[in-house]
Structure 1
Amino acid sequence: MEPAVSEGIAYPALYLKRGEDARLRAGHLWVFSNEVDVARSPLTGFTPGEPCVIVDARDRPLGVGYVNPNSLICARLVGRGLEHALDRSLLTHRLKVALGLRERLYGEPYYRLLYGEADGAPGLTLDRFGDVVVAQATTAGIERLKPEVEAAVRKVLNPAALLWKNDAAIRALEGLPSYADVGFGAPPGALEVREGGLAFAVDAIGGQKTGWFYDQRANRDLLAPFVRGARVLDMFSYLGAWGLRAAAMGAREVVCVDASAHAVEAIAANARRNGLAERVRAERADAFEYLKALRERREHFDVVILDPPAFVKRKKDLAEGRLAYRRLNELGMQALARDGILVTCSCSYHMPRQALLDGVQQGARHLDRQVQVLMQLQQAPDHPVHPAIPETDYLKGYLCRVLPA
């Protein structure tokens, strides 16, 4: 294998086929296995997570990255040019730049601190919960760089603790195990997140993702004019973020529904924690069955919030997923009062924004309803979208008014 050496960087070279550098030069950071010139740089010569220099067919280096020969996305570009090695210094710089944005956005240290490719650190997610950072590595390259990640976090933030929540399903595609572990420090028994003047207890190890869905915060901030004095239904509630925020904004009654008994207990505890227990009720049920039961007994709400988990995890699941979103939205509209508000979301990257809206409209026409889109929803600004990487733009939603036809 041919080495690429410059300014003290001595990483093996990963050569691209002719013309396969165009997407990287346009800003993307991924290299697919069929784009590699395996005659010059056999993928079998690399170990998972190994640093490399990505080089085009004319021997021009594009930058420094890392390789996983066992993955379809076989390499990721981390730094353009050869000025910086793939080390804690580069990660420290990325983290400082990311922190600068979050400190401009938020007055308290509760946010997504670093969002993978969009913040120049592909494969790495960092969420901040006050003095604790929860990290997630989804690639072999970041798994190999864990000590450097921890050193960068210590240098920039010096938090009390860092936890690794490495149980994302995508790790299996990288040949990585699923686990949770303490990187450093002594984390508290339960973490706390503050949002909209409320405090929520978070289980970073046993909870979903890294413990909290910061990506919906900006959308939850928009609820106020629609929920004052209203009866609100919050489906797929998890820890009750949407529902409790609605209650704090003046909703007269909130029903939170989740299929998890642990989530229902957590919602009730968070309601008591924030003095909202009298107006918030948590129920355990399957979302589709619960909405069908509401339809049968003709029970209605002024606001219905639908924030489900991803129904389309792979492109081949799109047809089935589109149908599921349409069914969910139609059931949600049947639970609405005559002049009601529907908040509908999808965190499925493979579900196009227009397809979600089409499902809402099709459901409305089937029910002889009229829909007015009042706001389009997207992920919060601590999840910035990289314009050259559509995969970073995954969350879409609509806040709609639903009227009789």
Structure 2
Amino acid sequence: MTPATLQLKKDQERRILAGHDWVYSNEIDTGQTPLKPLEPGQPVEVLSKRGRWLGYGYANPRSLIAVRITSRHREHPLTASLFVTRIQHALALRERLYPTPFYRLIHSEGDALPGLIVDRYGDLLVVQITTAGMERERGNLLAALEQVVRPARILLRNDTAVREQEGLEQGTEWVLGEDQGDIELSEDGLRFQVSPAQGQKTGWFFDQADNRRLLHRLAPHGSVLDCCCYLGAWGLQAVATGARSVTCIDSAASALAAVQSNAALNGLQGRISTLQGDAFDALRSLRDDQTRFAMVILDPPAFIKRRRDEAEGQRAYQRLNRLGLEVLEPGGLLLTSSCSFHMGREAFVQTVQQAARRSGRRLQLLFSGSQGPDHPIHPAIPETAYLKTLVLRALD
């Protein structure tokens, strides 16, 4: 299909020339090149006001991000062969970094395939398509994954809410092979049962793997609280690295059952306890009971999913961290994360500091982590650096 032409307004090409891959709807000269008549996901080429060719991409008139750039080489639009090349580049990086095939294989803009997430669990690929443009290329994409990776099974986890913003239906589908239930993965010597078809996201959070390794250096010897624990990745690593006991909090009974199963799988069940409930309510109850921990781990879901939620989300992060600090022993360690890409690292540090001031604590920042290298950051797209993980020492 011949790409439609979209022309930018005067001086709106600077960010694209600097390497960013998103074009917002208010940057397009819709008087000269109307956006609304385009189909969601339709291929386009983007020109500056003076006619300079900037790149190929795909458009969606329903989205604030009206165009996502897919190629800056005029001779290489997004085709089946380009999918193969990009996936080969992504696979080469992961095979260099990881001894076993358990990682994020494709990280959207970080791997020059915007709107695409692929997590690998051995011979199983779990795919999330989040944009209309990538949905339109689904056939080429799946064929390229089969050609390059040779998986036995492919699951589409297109049940993410972000698809609604693109006008796409939600659902899950096995496009290669069939559901064989839970699978087992290993992380730093521990074994975990994971459900790629039914768990959160694609079943596991590979992005925190490097940060979890910090526990080996921190060597928590007292009691640990793992809040928003999901399958217990943080909590079990804490026990394995020396914690006397770990209390895991989650709102989902199924997650806590999985924590106990994973603890038993590793022979650690005697030092793991669980508490079901809302994170804020559970922390208040522990505080009121004067229960204290040598380490508190806070790894909540994103509180800021849209720019307009920023103020409310920042207040939620401050409340959560204040409660975490209030159940922390003097001299204890707070390990806290934010996966909201709308909140920058500096803003997150300031929010945790505000929480400390309100709780009467003085903080020392010891470590500041990001997502692992299987979630590569695009240097020109700050939004791809979404994960912030801080380790702080709290003093009275």
After superposing the two structures, state which structure 1 stretch, 371-380 or 40-49, moved more. Answer: 40-49
- Of 308, 313, 316, the residue aligned with 1:316 is 308
Query: Which structure 2 segments of 5+ residues have no match?
Result: none
The alignment of Structure 1 onto Structure 2 pairs a total of residues equal to: 396
Is 1:389–2:381 an aligned residue pair?
yes
Matched residue, 1:84: 76
Task: Pick closer, same or farther for the CA change 1:367–1:48 going to 2, 3 Å.
Answer: closer
Matched residue, 1:375: 367
Tell me if the contact between 2:86 and 2:112 (Cα under 8 Å) persists in the aligned partners: yes
User: Shift in Å at residue 143 of structure 1?
Assistant: 0.6
Is 1:195–2:195 an aligned residue pair?
no
Matched residue, 1:3: none
Matched residue, 1:5: none
Tell me if the contact between 2:304 and 2:343 (Cα under 8 Å) persists in the aligned partners: yes
| Deviation readout 1:328-362 (Å, 9 max, x if unpaired) | 11111121122211101111112232232223223
User: Shift in Å at residue 228 of structure 1?
Assistant: 4.0
- Calculate the TM-score normalised by the size of structure 1: 0.94
Matched residue, 1:262: 254
Find the aligned partners of 2:227 and 2:25 in 1 and give their Cα distance: 40
Q: How does 1:191-340 map to 2 (within 5 A)?
A: 191-340=183-332
Is 1:343–2:335 an aligned residue pair?
yes
Matched residue, 2:87: 95
User: Shift in Å at residue 99 of structure 1?
Assistant: 1.3
Tell me if the contact between 1:123 and 1:139 (Cα under 8 Å) persists in the aligned partners: yes
User: Shift in Å at residue 283 of structure 1?
Assistant: 2.0
After superposing the two structures, state which structure 1 stretch, 84-93 or 112-121, moved more. Answer: 84-93
Equivalent residue of 1:278, what SS? helix
After superposing the two structures, state which structure 1 stretch, 175-184 or 274-283, moved more. Answer: 274-283
Tell me if the contact between 1:226 and 1:303 (Cα under 8 Å) persists in the aligned partners: no
Q: How does 1:147-166 map to 2 (within 5 A)?
A: 147-166=139-158
Is 1:45–2:21 an aligned residue pair?
no
Query: Which structure 1 segments of 5+ residues have no match?
Result: 1-8
Matched residue, 2:169: 177
Tell me if the contact between 2:220 and 2:294 (Cα under 8 Å) persists in the aligned partners: no
Tell me if the contact between 1:258 and 1:283 (Cα under 8 Å) persists in the aligned partners: yes
Look up the equivalent residue of 1:53 and give its one-letter code. Answer: E
Task: Pick closer, same or farther for the CA change 1:245–1:142 going to 2, 3 Å.
Answer: same
Equivalent residue of 1:97, what SS? helix
Q: Extract structure 1 runs of 4+ deviating beyond 3 A.
A: none
The percentage of counterpart residues that share the same residue type is 48
After superposing the two structures, state which structure 1 stretch, 151-160 or 185-194, moved more. Answer: 185-194
Look up the equivalent residue of 2:234 and give its one-letter code. Answer: W
Q: How does 1:351-370 map to 2 (within 5 A)?
A: 351-370=343-362
- Calculate the TM-score normalised by the size of structure 2: 0.96
Is 1:27–2:19 an aligned residue pair?
yes
Tell me if the contact between 2:283 and 2:324 (Cα under 8 Å) persists in the aligned partners: yes
